[in-house]
């Protein structure tokens, strides 16, 4: 290599990255032993961030745009290098470009069944799978926590770590979400949102954000499915009728399979069970009717009347009070009375409820002479 070629490759004056892949998350600019020229041009394209490292320490992070590298726009690197009064000579630094685009259609799934504790069904095993999308939101934090200083870092390398975290968070969300196990399949959207929130609580520590998380399917053993189906049907039908129906089925099955004394014994045993069931049913019904018959009816409503004496309204009075007033002579046959439901005031002796009050009261004495 001639002297001219050596000098032409000694300093780097253009730094950029054209990403032609769909899976590269981090790409290290190939500086090798060359130094970066002060006032070099840095191009950070949309969906990229550029991170400068000095001796393994993260310095300045550049967002999309075009930059002329100077001490003014590299304040952290200038401090680390000790450029107190400006610096115009070439310098060495590692430059990492980080893609911040959405990495979509990433697959996740449970390699082994996850175990959950359900209040009704006990310990159950589930499998689940789906897809997710994520992107880098803090390039410096991502390099520090995940990528390190590798020359190139792809989605295949990070997805293994992310899938383990996803399965862990899915297990926690499924166990703590309060969603009944039989409703998992019908509420995958709610479960997906719950998992997204749980995942982003941890992904933020890695400089990542989950932009989409989908639970596509939750499966369980066939015997658990049958148990859940039976449980759901029991909530819809009468338990007593179901027991009678199941017992009838057992009798029919036993009758069809009877053979000799053993068959007769089986049929007899089922018949006894059926008789006990019917006896318990009739007894329960009798007890319910007896309880209903011992409950007293509601008391009759209290009848109350108002009286009108000398144009003044008095009362209301109960029938017992009116009887006392009749004996005292303060209520007579011609006293006007009224109660709720009557059209107008009327004489007491014309009201059916009050007519008996005057049977023991003598009429006015005849005039003298």
List the CATH number of the domain containing 130: 3.30.479.30
**Is position 37 within any domain?**
yes
On whether both 22 and 86 belong to a single domain, the answer is yes
Per the structure, the complete domain to which residue 209 belongs is given by 103-220
CA 2 to mean position of chain CA atoms: 71
Cα separation, 117 vs 281, in Å, equals 36
Q: What is the mean pLDDT of residues 330-341?
A: 85
Cα separation, 239 vs 255, in Å, equals 24
Distances 84 to 59, 78, 126, 260, 281 between C-alpha atoms, Å: 16, 7, 61, 107, 96
On whether both 113 and 48 belong to a single domain, the answer is no
Q: How confident is the model at residue 45 (pLDDT cuts 50, 70, 90)?
A: very high
Q: Give the contacts of 175 (CB within 8 A, at least 6 positions apart).
A: 116, 117
- Whether the per-residue pLDDT at 3 is higher than 50: the answer is no
**Is position 315 within any domain?**
yes
Query: Residues 186-198: pLDDT tens digits?
Result: 678 888 888 888 8
How many independent structural domains does the chain possess? Answer: 3
On whether both 212 and 135 belong to a single domain, the answer is yes
More confident residue, 362 or 206: 206
The three-state secondary structure class of 147 is: helix
On whether both 20 and 69 belong to a single domain, the answer is yes
Cα separation, 234 vs 228, in Å, equals 10
**Is position 272 within any domain?**
no
**Is position 321 within any domain?**
yes
The three-state secondary structure class of 94 is: strand
**Is position 262 within any domain?**
no
On whether both 94 and 194 belong to a single domain, the answer is no
Q: Of 44, 77, 99, which residue is a domain's last? A: 99
Q: How confident is the model at residue 1 (pLDDT cuts 50, 70, 90)?
A: very low
On whether both 312 and 351 belong to a single domain, the answer is yes
CA 316 to mean position of chain CA atoms: 59
On whether both 140 and 157 belong to a single domain, the answer is yes
Query: Residues 283-312: pLDDT tens digits?
Result: 555 456 555 556 677 776 777 888 888 888
More confident residue, 64 or 215: 64
More confident residue, 299 or 338: 338
Query: Residues 108-159: pLDDT tens digits?
Result: 888 888 887 777 777 778 888 999 999 999 999 999 988 887 788 899 888 8
**Is position 257 within any domain?**
no
**Is position 47 within any domain?**
yes
* pLDDT score at 8: 46
Q: Which of 15, 18, 61 is CA-nearest to residue 37?
A: 15
On whether both 108 and 214 belong to a single domain, the answer is yes
On whether both 93 and 116 belong to a single domain, the answer is no
Residues making up the chain, counted from first to last: 369
User: Is residue 118 classed exposed, middle or buried when 0-12, 13-18 and 19+ CB atoms within 10 A define those classes?
Assistant: middle
Query: Residues 228-265: pLDDT tens digits?
Result: 667 666 655 555 665 666 677 677 676 666 554 444 44
Q: How confident is the model at residue 48 (pLDDT cuts 50, 70, 90)?
A: very high
Q: Which of 145, 161, 162, 143 is CA-nearest to residue 153?
A: 143
pTM, two decimal places: 0.56
Query: Residues 7-25: pLDDT tens digits?
Result: 445 677 899 999 988 899 9
Q: Of 175, 192, 220, which residue is a domain's last? A: 220
Q: Of 62, 82, 99, which residue is a domain's last? A: 99
On whether both 214 and 148 belong to a single domain, the answer is yes
Q: How confident is the model at residue 275 (pLDDT cuts 50, 70, 90)?
A: very low
More confident residue, 29 or 271: 29
More confident residue, 14 or 227: 14
- Whether the per-residue pLDDT at 89 is higher than 70: the answer is yes
Q: How confident is the model at residue 172 (pLDDT cuts 50, 70, 90)?
A: confident
On whether both 37 and 128 belong to a single domain, the answer is no
On whether both 205 and 114 belong to a single domain, the answer is yes
Classify residue 315 as left (phi > 0), alpha (psi -120 to 50) or beta.
left
Q: Give the number of other CB atoms < 10 A from CB of residue 301.
A: 7
Average pLDDT of the residues of the chain? 78
CATH number for the domain spanning 327: value is 3.30.1490.40
């Amino acid at each position: 290599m001639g002297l001219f070629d050596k000098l032409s490759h000694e300093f780097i004056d253009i730094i950029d990255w054209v990403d032609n892949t769909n899976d590269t998350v981090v790409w290290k600019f190939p500086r090798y032993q060359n130094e970066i020229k002060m006032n070099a041009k840095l191009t950070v394209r949309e969906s990229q961030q550029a991170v400068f490292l000095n001796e393994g320490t993260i310095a300045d992070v550049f967002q999309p745009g075009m930059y002329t590298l100077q001490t003014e726009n590299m304040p952290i690197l200038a401090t680390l290098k000790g450029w107190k009064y400006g610096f115009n000579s070439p310098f060495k630094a590692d430059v990492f470009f980080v893609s911040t685009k959405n990495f979509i259609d990433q697959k996740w799934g449970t390699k082994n069944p996850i175990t959950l504790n359900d209040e009704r069904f006990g310990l159950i095993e589930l499998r689940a799978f789906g897809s997710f999308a994520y992107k880098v939101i803090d390039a410096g934090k991502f390099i520090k926590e995940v990528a390190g200083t590798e020359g190139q870092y792809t989605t295949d390398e990070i997805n293994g770590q992310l899938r383990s975290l996803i399965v862990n968070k899915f297990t926690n969300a499924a166990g703590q979400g309060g969603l009944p196990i039989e409703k998992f399949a019908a509420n995958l959207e709610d479960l997906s949102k719950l998992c997204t929130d749980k995942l982003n609580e941890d992904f933020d520590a890695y400089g990542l954000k989950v932009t989409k998380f989908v639970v596509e399917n939750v499966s369980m053993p066939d015997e658990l499915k049958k148990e859940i189906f039976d449980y759901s049907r029991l909530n819809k039908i009468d338990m007593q009728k179901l027991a009678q129906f199941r017992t009838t089925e057992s009798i029919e099955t036993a009758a069809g399979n009877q053979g000799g004394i053993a068959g007769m014994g089986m049929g007899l045993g089922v018949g006894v069970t059926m008789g006990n069931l019917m006896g318990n049913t009739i007894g329960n019904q009798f007890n319910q009717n007896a309880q209903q018959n011992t409950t007293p009816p509601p008391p009759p409503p209290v009848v109350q009347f108002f009286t009108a004496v000398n144009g003044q309204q008095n009362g209301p009075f109960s029938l017992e009070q009116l009887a006392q007033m009749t004996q005292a002579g303060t209520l007579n046959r011609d006293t006007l009375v009224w109660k709720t439901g009557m059209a107008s005031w009327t004489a007491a002796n014309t009201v059916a409820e009050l007519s008996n009050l005057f049977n023991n009261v003598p009429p006015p004495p005849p005039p003298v002479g």
